[in-house]
Amino acid sequence: MHIEAGVVQGAKMILSYATAAGVVGMGAKLAWERIKEDGIVSFLIKSILATVIVFNCFEVLPHYPVGVSEVHLILGTTIFLVFGLAPAMVGLSLGLLAQGLLFAPFDLPQYGINVTTLLASMLILDQVAKRVIPKDTPYKDISYSQMLKMSIAWEGAIVSWVAFWAFYGQ
């Protein structure tokens, strides 16, 4: 989901820039930690793959306008589980940016709002995953109920952020 143009306007956009700076800063910190642990090549490969998948989810999979937003099937929980938190955050932010630059330049003014919605929701998903999945559990051993809990947290966080921006914009 992302906020359509015109929902938040004028001086109210400053909050979107501040929140975007916060989540992007957190993502940069997490990326640096991941690079130190796994190496730059591993991080770049995961981030590039996540970006390509996110971009394709935005442009290839069905997406529908719903109220003040547009619903995209991003597969956020799966991207998180396959690539990890930091590469997923990079993929979401760069995939969203590429979509705006290449196909939807009218969405670029809302980039701060939309990147906040996605990255803050990804941080919430990470916290839920830490509580739901025991440490060092292989991806193949994640149960349907664990996946459902994480997906509900991901979607619930996104819907909550969209609701926040819609009410804030009024």
pLDDT tens digits for the chain (170 residues)?
567 778 899 999 999 999 999 999 999 999 999 999 999 999 999 999 999 999 998 888 887 777 777 777 788 999 999 999 999 999 999 999 999 999 989 889 999 999 999 999 999 999 999 999 999 898 889 999 999 999 999 999 999 999 999 999 98
Residue 25 has what pLDDT? 97
pTM above 0.75, yes or no: yes
* Residues paired with 63 in a beta bridge: 72
Judge contact between 72 and 57, C-beta under 8 A: yes
* Alpha carbon distance 154, 148 (integer Å): 10
* Residues paired with 71 in a beta bridge: 64
* Alpha carbon distance 50, 14 (integer Å): 28
Judge contact between 122 and 80, C-beta under 8 A: yes
Residue 11 has what pLDDT? 93
